[in-house]
Amino acid sequence: MKTLLLALALLLPLALAGSASAAPPPASYYERAGHPDAWSGGARMIEISTPKGKFHVWTKRVGNNPRLKVLLLHGGPAMGHDYLEAFDSFFPGEGIEYYYYDQLGAGLSDRPDDDDLWTTPRFVEEVEQVRQALHLDRSNFFPAHRAS
């Protein structure tokens, strides 16, 4: 939790400070070739495993930067990624590759009707499965979320 807050605290001022005068990203920032989401505008459904079976969660990638990737985590449960779209005004100008993600039960993701799924440990495991599916690792990955 502290790591997530620290990452957001470090990245948000960078994005805000540079947005007004930042040069546009290079054309390669917007290339989609070679990505599994190439023909879907960056969006894709990722299969996750839970104690109640397999479900799908929605993600959307914006940009290309092999060195700096941010996974935006919304509040929840049940709240989608929509309010995080404000990052579209800041991150591209800094060349930051970022991912929207709707956790299980929210936004464009599957919505199972089972209260046993709504536990913190299960959500943590879900984020880990999403991280792995998106090939995010310690060398390039900085999670960011809003503290509740």
Is residue 123 in a domain?
yes
Residue 22 confidence (pLDDT): 66
The residue type found at 141 is: F
Domain extent, residue 67, equals 2-11+35-145
Is residue 22 in a domain?
no
Higher pLDDT, 143 or 17: 143
Non-local (6+) Cβ contacts of 119 within 8 A are none
Is residue 63 in a domain?
yes
Q: Which two tokens stand for residue 146?
A: 């809003």
Overall pTM surpassing 0.75 (yes/no): yes
Helix (H) or strand (E) holding 14: helix 2-19
Pick the most confident of 26-35, 74-83, 91-100.
91-100
Is residue 57 in a domain?
yes
Distance CA 34, CA 21 (A): 31
Residue 142 confidence (pLDDT): 66
How would you class 18 by CB atoms within 10 Å of its CB: exposed for 0-12, middle for 13-18, buried for 19 or more? Answer: middle
Is residue 131 in a domain?
yes
Is residue 29 in a domain?
no
**CA angle centred on 128, ends 63 and 83, rounded to 5°:** 50
Is residue 19 in a domain?
no
Using CA atoms, how far residue 68 sits from 65, 85, 92, 143, in Å, is 6, 18, 12, 11
Residue 21 banded pLDDT, cuts 50, 70, 90? low
Residue 57 confidence (pLDDT): 97
| Domain total in the chain | 1
What is the CATH number for 39? 3.40.50.1820
Is residue 125 in a domain?
yes
